[in-house]
Amino acid sequence: MPAHSEHNISMNIINTLQNAVAQAVEQLYGGPCDPSKVMVNTTPSDFTGDYSVVVFPFVKISKKSPDATALEIGAILVQNVSEITAFNVVKGFLNVEISAAFWLNFLQETNANPDFGRQPRNGKKVMVEFSSPNTNKPLHMGHIRNILLGWSCSCILEAVGYDVVKTQIINDRGVAICKSMLSWKKFGDGQTPDSTGIKSDHFVGDWYVLFEQKIRAEYEAWQQSDTAKTLLETHLKPGLSEKDFFKDFKNKWFNEYAELGAEVREMLLKWEENDPETLTLWKKMNGWVYAGFDKTYTDLGVTFDHLYYESKTYLLGKDIVEDGLSKGVFYQKEDGSVWIDLTDAGLDHKVVLRADGTSVYITQDLGTARMRFQELGCEQFVYVVADEQNYHFQVLFEILRRLDEPYAEGLHHLSYGLVELPTGRMKTREGTVVDADDLIAEVVKLADDQSKERGEIEGISPTEKTENLRRVGMGALKFFIIKVNPKKRMIFNPEESVDLQGQTGPYIQYSFVRINGLMQRVEKENIDLSLAWQYNDLQPQEKDLLAALHDFPAIVAAAAKEYDPSMVANYCYTLAKSYHRFWHDLSIFNAENLETKAFRLTLSNTVGKVLQRGMGLLGIEMPGRM
């Protein structure tokens, strides 16, 4: 154990530097200096030093040149901070070098700390809502992005101290599922997922697609009818083509003219009246969908703590409307509809209750929020929903604020960009969706093919091999999606699919596999690692790794604060990259002496653990071999 181990070594070195700089500035120049405002970065590799302090902000108080200021601060730092061994100044940047003793001590503590990167429980409860599928069709690429974001965000929030409740609200009612139901009832001829061998959620989705085909055919036929022609003549405006007219007219037609449309509405009505036959059918088809979803969720490795069903929540929110009316937050129009005026918040007027007293989408969300608060006791809520609903959430949160809901300040919309294909948006009706199950199967097969080509993992048991390759495939897919900043729109090219080389999940997994190989040998040869702490010749590649390891807790904290898992993904990549370089440049098992060997093995071990933890936060598992 290094001599100064009494020192609070677990304190972040960057905080130490910030405090010391602030103190030095106050001592030298008298002015107050907030330590948290002191900029400390890792020093770029072309300069000597480990960390760099930006001194430009201090020249106002020092009334000296940047270089002179840096020299003065540096002199004090090197005197006051035991971890600093030297400093230099380049163009107003103060570069400091950190002692080997600090790094050794840091490694020792980190390697022994199973909670490295985790923070103590903060006693706060946060709900994360994600996935939230419709039950009329299987999950697709867009859901995958949503699910991975929700899952990794949950893991990250958990790591920084929250008690996390993972939920989804399942949209199990409405016109869409009725379309599947009606279609199956009319044309299904008693077929089932079992009788056809089709995965059960896909089975239900197929009937939805069939319905859409039928309705399109009906519409096209109707357009030739006398009624349609008369309508066209009376409503066609100059500049509007016949085609555009019918495109715009489609909704109205569906609601007022279509035969299939009438049947769907009738079914929905029956459902709302609790018609036994309709409910039985509804339960049967939703049951099929859930069985299919379960399989996909299992493949993705996600679970939920609490499920909500729209069929049970869609009537909620009316009490809130009452409440808001009595508080004067809402106002009622003559026709009886209830509104809120949000124009002073840069938003618009928004209806919260229809004239006939039924609720709209946002009413339900208002009610659900309050119910969840009462039921789960969460003070924070994260909604993982695509950015096309940005405005909706602005309105929702603003209304909850005005209602003085106790959790109103803890609401967050984790908005992410839609996943699109090179040809544009995915459309179920046009069959241009990238199906989740297909994609999963494809990427696991890709990992399998690549593995065969390399032939590295012959000789392990088939089950172990399958599991490893599943992890590689899923790692590739998940990392591919999570590494991109959530708010960015994503274009997914199924042709090019997912890479396994370069900035990818498997690249990171591969560094773990290398380390895993080393550790197995350590165990087998019973190597004594305690000599590591006598090592005293730190190489740049080793310092890179140590500094990267040191960053981990701050990265997790920042990712939680920003609700941005891509920060963790990029961190893992950088760490793995440094490790590959370290591996290439330096000998580990064949190191010059036993201290060096023990140190490099311990360093490798710690890198492996942090990589595993970091990837774990993204829902990515590490293979033992690949």
Partner RNA sequence: GGCUCCGUAGCUUAAUGGAUAGAGCACCUGACUACGGAUCAGGAGGUUAGAGGUUCGAGUCCUCUCGGAGUCACCA
CB of 362 to RNA, least distance (A): 7
Q: Which stretch binds RNA (CB under 7 A): 162-170, 264-272, 443-451, 606-614?
A: 443-451
- Kindly state the tokens that stand for 45: 């590799």
Q: What is the per-residue DSSP string for 427-478?
A: -GGGT---BHHHHHHHHHHHHHHHHHHHT-STTS-HHHHHHHHHHHHHHHHH
Tell me how far apart the alpha carbons of residues 112 and 609 are, in angstroms, rounded to a whole number: 11
Contact status: 91 vs RNA (CB under 7 A):
yes
Asked whether 389 and 420 are in contact (CB, 8 A), the reply is no
Select from 5, 11, 26, 44 the one that contacts RNA (CB under 7 A): 44
Tell me how far apart the alpha carbons of residues 22 and 407 are, in angstroms, rounded to a whole number: 37
Contact status: 133 vs RNA (CB under 7 A):
no
Pick from 65, 71, 77: nearest CA to 24 = 77
CB of 368 to RNA, least distance (A): 12
Contact status: 260 vs RNA (CB under 7 A):
no
Q: Which residues contact 580 (CB under 8 A, 6 or more apart)?
A: 510, 511
Q: Which stretch binds RNA (CB under 7 A): 85-93, 144-152, 232-240, 299-307?
A: 85-93
Q: Which stretch binds RNA (CB under 7 A): 214-222, 239-247, 387-395, 528-536?
A: 387-395
φ/ψ of 163, rounded to 5, equals: -90, 115
Looking at the Cβ atoms of 408 and 586, the one nearer to RNA is 586
Q: How long a stretch of residues is the chain? A: 626
Asked whether 395 and 406 are in contact (CB, 8 A), the reply is no
Looking at the Cβ atoms of 376 and 490, the one nearer to RNA is 490
φ/ψ of 461, rounded to 5, equals: -65, 150
Select from 568, 583, 612, 617 the one that contacts RNA (CB under 7 A): 583
Calculated CA dihedral for residues 179, 180, 182, 188, nearest 10 degrees: 150
**Other Cβ atoms closer than 10 A to 277:** 9
Contact status: 594 vs RNA (CB under 7 A):
no
Select from 310, 398, 544, 621 the one that contacts RNA (CB under 7 A): 310
Select from 32, 346, 459, 462 the one that contacts RNA (CB under 7 A): 346
Looking at the Cβ atoms of 194 and 562, the one nearer to RNA is 562
Select from 391, 423, 528, 539 the one that contacts RNA (CB under 7 A): 391
At CB < 8 A and 24+ separation, what contacts does 4-9 make? Answer: 4/82, 4/101, 4/105, 5/105, 7/82, 9/102, 9/105, 9/106, 9/109
Q: Which residues pair with 415 in a beta bridge?
A: 385
CB of 472 to RNA, least distance (A): 5
Contact status: 262 vs RNA (CB under 7 A):
no
Select from 527, 586, 594, 616 the one that contacts RNA (CB under 7 A): 586
Asked whether 270 and 278 are in contact (CB, 8 A), the reply is yes
Select from 61, 90, 291, 371 the one that contacts RNA (CB under 7 A): 90
Asked whether 412 and 383 are in contact (CB, 8 A), the reply is yes
Burial class from Cβ neighbours inside 10 Å (0-12, 13-18, 19+) for residue 76 reads middle
Residue numbers 350-379 binding RNA by CB under 7 A = 351, 354-356, 360-361
Looking at the Cβ atoms of 90 and 531, the one nearer to RNA is 90
Contact status: 161 vs RNA (CB under 7 A):
no
Contact status: 57 vs RNA (CB under 7 A):
yes
Contact status: 312 vs RNA (CB under 7 A):
no
Q: What is the per-residue DSSP string for 77-123?
A: HHHH-TTEEEEEEETTEEEEEE-HHHHHHHHHHHHH-TTTT-----S
Residue numbers 411-440 binding RNA by CB under 7 A = 418, 425
Looking at the Cβ atoms of 131 and 451, the one nearer to RNA is 451
Asked whether 398 and 257 are in contact (CB, 8 A), the reply is no
Q: Which stretch binds RNA (CB under 7 A): 107-115, 264-272, 285-293, 346-354?
A: 346-354
Looking at the Cβ atoms of 162 and 507, the one nearer to RNA is 507
Residue numbers 206-235 binding RNA by CB under 7 A = none
CB of 555 to RNA, least distance (A): 10
Tell me how far apart the alpha carbons of residues 378 and 94 are, in angstroms, rounded to a whole number: 45
Looking at the Cβ atoms of 199 and 479, the one nearer to RNA is 479
Select from 43, 69, 296, 605 the one that contacts RNA (CB under 7 A): 43
Residue numbers 168-187 binding RNA by CB under 7 A = 171, 174
Contact status: 348 vs RNA (CB under 7 A):
yes
Contact status: 577 vs RNA (CB under 7 A):
yes
Residues 497-536, mask of contacts with RNA (x by CB under 7 A): --xxxxxx-xx--x--xx--xx--x---------------
CB of 418 to RNA, least distance (A): 7
Sign of the Cα torsion 504, 606, 41, 149 reads positive
Contact status: 46 vs RNA (CB under 7 A):
yes
Contact status: 19 vs RNA (CB under 7 A):
no
Contact status: 491 vs RNA (CB under 7 A):
yes
Contact status: 393 vs RNA (CB under 7 A):
no
Contact status: 570 vs RNA (CB under 7 A):
yes
Q: What separation in angstroms does the CA of 531 have from each of 393, 527, 535, 602?
A: 57, 10, 7, 10
Q: Which stretch binds RNA (CB under 7 A): 84-92, 117-125, 240-248, 437-445?
A: 84-92
Contact status: 590 vs RNA (CB under 7 A):
yes
Contact status: 469 vs RNA (CB under 7 A):
yes
Q: Binding residues for RNA, how many (CB under 7 A)? A: 88
Select from 137, 483, 550, 609 the one that contacts RNA (CB under 7 A): 483
Calculated CA dihedral for residues 517, 519, 524, 528, nearest 10 degrees: 150
Tell me how far apart the alpha carbons of residues 490 and 142 are, in angstroms, rounded to a whole number: 10
- Kindly state the tokens that stand for 500: 């396994």
Q: Which stretch binds RNA (CB under 7 A): 106-114, 214-222, 279-287, 454-462?
A: 454-462
Asked whether 35 and 21 are in contact (CB, 8 A), the reply is yes
Contact status: 61 vs RNA (CB under 7 A):
no
Phi-psi bin for 381: left (phi > 0), alpha (psi -120 to 50), beta? beta
**Other Cβ atoms closer than 10 A to 389:** 15
**Other Cβ atoms closer than 10 A to 257:** 17
Contact status: 488 vs RNA (CB under 7 A):
yes
Contact status: 16 vs RNA (CB under 7 A):
no
CB of 174 to RNA, least distance (A): 5
